[in-house]
Amino acid sequence: MNGYGKYFGKKIGWYLVTFLFAVVLNFALPRMMPGDPVAGIAAQTTQGVTNTAAAEKIYKEYAEKFGVDKPVYVQFLKWAGNALRGDLGVSFSQYPRPVADILKSSMGWTLCLQLPAILIGWLLGNMLGAIAAYVKKGFDKIILPVFLFISNIPAFGMAVILLFIFSLRLGWFPSSGGYGYDLIPNFSWTFIRSVVAHYQLPFWSIVLTTIGAQAIGMRSMAIYELNADYVKYSRFLGIHDRKIVRYVFRNAMLPQITGLAMSLGTMMGGALVSEIVFSYPGIGTTMMAAIKGQDYPLLSACTLIITLMVLVANLVVEILYGLIDPRIKASQMD
Amino acid sequence: MNTIRQVFRSAKFVTGFVIFIAIILLTILFPLFITYDPLDVVGNGNFYPPGTYISQKDTIKANPYELRIALKQSNVGDSLKTDELDKIKEWLTQYGGMGKSEVQDADAESLIVMWTDKYNPSKRFRGMLASEQKYYKRLNQKLTELLTDKDIIIAEQDENNELKEKSKVKSSDFVNLKEISNKRTLVLGTDNFGRDVLRELVSATTTSLRIGLIAGVVATAIGLTLGLLAGYLGGFIDDLILFITNLFTVIPSFVLLILISYSVGQKQRGVGLVALIIGITSWTWTTRAVRSQVISLRNRDHVNLSKLSGHSSFKIIMTDILPYIASYVVMAFILQVSSGILSEAQLSMLGLGPATTSTATLGLMMNWAMLYSAHLNGSWWAYFPVLFMIAMISFSLNLMNTGLDQVFNPQLRD
Tens digit of pLDDT per residue, chain A (334 long)? 566 777 788 888 888 888 888 888 888 887 776 666 666 666 666 666 667 777 777 777 776 666 666 777 777 888 788 777 877 777 777 777 788 888 888 888 888 888 888 889 888 888 888 877 777 666 666 777 777 788 888 888 888 888 888 887 777 877 777 776 666 666 677 777 777 778 888 888 888 888 888 888 888 787 777 778 888 888 888 888 788 888 888 788 888 887 787 778 888 888 888 888 888 888 888 888 888 877 777 888 888 888 888 888 888 888 887 777 767 666 665 5
Nearest-CA distance B243 → chain A (Å): 10
Task: Say whether A32 and B263 touch across the interface (CB within 8 A).
Answer: yes
- Note the pLDDT of residue B223: 92
Task: Say whether A277 and B345 touch across the interface (CB within 8 A).
Answer: no
For residue A264, the chain B residues in CB contact (below 8 A) are 252
| The pLDDT of residue B28 is above 80 | yes
Closest CA in chain B for residue A147: B395
pTM: 0.80
For residue A17, the chain B residues in CB contact (below 8 A) are 247
Average pLDDT, rounded, for chain B = 82
Task: Say whether B411 and A154 touch across the interface (CB within 8 A).
Answer: no
For residue B345, the chain A residues in CB contact (below 8 A) are 154, 156
Task: Say whether A157 and B268 touch across the interface (CB within 8 A).
Answer: no
Task: Say whether B250 and A311 touch across the interface (CB within 8 A).
Answer: yes
Burial A215-230 (b: 16+ CB within 10 A, else e): bbbbbbbbbbbbeeee
For residue B414, the chain A residues in CB contact (below 8 A) are 136, 223
Task: Say whether B342 and A154 touch across the interface (CB within 8 A).
Answer: yes
In A125-184, the residues whose Cβ lies within 8 Å of chain B are: 136, 148-149, 151-154, 156-157, 160-161, 163-164, 168, 175-176
Secondary structure of residue B361 in the 3-state scheme:
coil
Question: Residue B360 and residue B375: Cα distance in Å, rounded?
Answer: 19
For residue A30, the chain B residues in CB contact (below 8 A) are 259, 262-263
Task: Say whether B342 and A26 touch across the interface (CB within 8 A).
Answer: no
- Note the pLDDT of residue B219: 93
Q: What is the mean pLDDT of residues B195-206?
A: 88
Q: Is B383 on the interface with A (CB under 8 A)?
A: yes
Number of other CB atoms surrounding residue B120 within 10 Å: 9
Task: Say whether B349 and A176 touch across the interface (CB within 8 A).
Answer: no
Q: Is A292 on the interface with B (CB under 8 A)?
A: yes
ipTM surpassing 0.90, yes or no? no
Q: What is the mean pLDDT of residues B364-387?
A: 86
Q: Is B258 on the interface with A (CB under 8 A)?
A: yes
Interface test with A, best of B244, B282, B375, B408 (most A CBs within 10 A): B375
Task: Say whether B398 and A152 touch across the interface (CB within 8 A).
Answer: yes
CA distances from A231 to A218, A246, A257, A333 (A): 17, 11, 21, 27
- Note the pLDDT of residue B218: 94
Rg (CA), chain B: 32
Reported as type and span, the H/E element at residue B66 is strand B65-66
For residue B352, the chain A residues in CB contact (below 8 A) are 291
Go through the domains of chain B in sequence order and give each one's CATH number.
2-45+191-412 (1.10.3720.10), 60-181 (no CATH)
| The pLDDT of residue B78 is above 70 | no
- Note the pLDDT of residue B221: 93
Question: Residue B143 and residue B150: Cα distance in Å, rounded?
Answer: 13
For residue A175, the chain B residues in CB contact (below 8 A) are 375-376
For residue A33, the chain B residues in CB contact (below 8 A) are 262-265
- Note the pLDDT of residue A88: 75
Q: Is A192 on the interface with B (CB under 8 A)?
A: no
Q: Is A22 on the interface with B (CB under 8 A)?
A: yes
Closest CA in chain B for residue A292: B351
Please tell me the least confidently modeled range out of A30-34, B184-188, B372-376: A30-34
pLDDT digits (tens, 9 = 90+) for B95-144: 777 777 777 777 777 777 777 777 777 777 777 777 888 888 888 887 77
> Do B154 and B167 meet the contact criterion of CB atoms below 8 Å apart?
yes
Nearest-CA distance A292 → chain B (Å): 7
- Quick one: A149 exposed, middle or buried, by C-beta within 10 A (0-12, 13-18, 19+)? middle
Cα angle vertex B362, ends A298, A269, to 5°?
40
Nearest-CA distance B387 → chain A (Å): 6
> Do A154 and B345 meet the contact criterion of CB atoms below 8 Å apart?
yes
Q: Is A279 on the interface with B (CB under 8 A)?
A: no
Closest CA in chain A for residue B264: A33
Number of other CB atoms surrounding residue A141 within 10 Å: 12
In A75-134, the residues whose Cβ lies within 8 Å of chain B are: none
Closest CA in chain A for residue B389: A153
- Note the pLDDT of residue B74: 53
Number of other CB atoms surrounding residue A30 within 10 Å: 23
Go through the domains of chain A in sequence order and give each one's CATH number.
2-34+88-333 (1.10.3720.10)
Secondary structure of residue A180 in the 3-state scheme:
coil
In A245-274, the residues whose Cβ lies within 8 Å of chain B are: 262, 264-266, 268-270, 272-273
- Note the pLDDT of residue A34: 66
Name A76's Cβ contacts closer than 8 Å, sequence gap at least 6.
A24, A27, A28
- Quick one: A72 exposed, middle or buried, by C-beta within 10 A (0-12, 13-18, 19+)? exposed
For residue B86, the chain A residues in CB contact (below 8 A) are none
For residue A303, the chain B residues in CB contact (below 8 A) are 255, 258-259
Secondary structure of residue B258 in the 3-state scheme:
helix
Q: Is B47 on the interface with A (CB under 8 A)?
A: no
A138 compared with B157, residue with greater pLDDT = B157
- Note the pLDDT of residue A92: 75
Please tell me the least confidently modeled range out of A46-55, B4-13, B72-81, B182-191: B72-81
For residue A273, the chain B residues in CB contact (below 8 A) are 346, 349-350
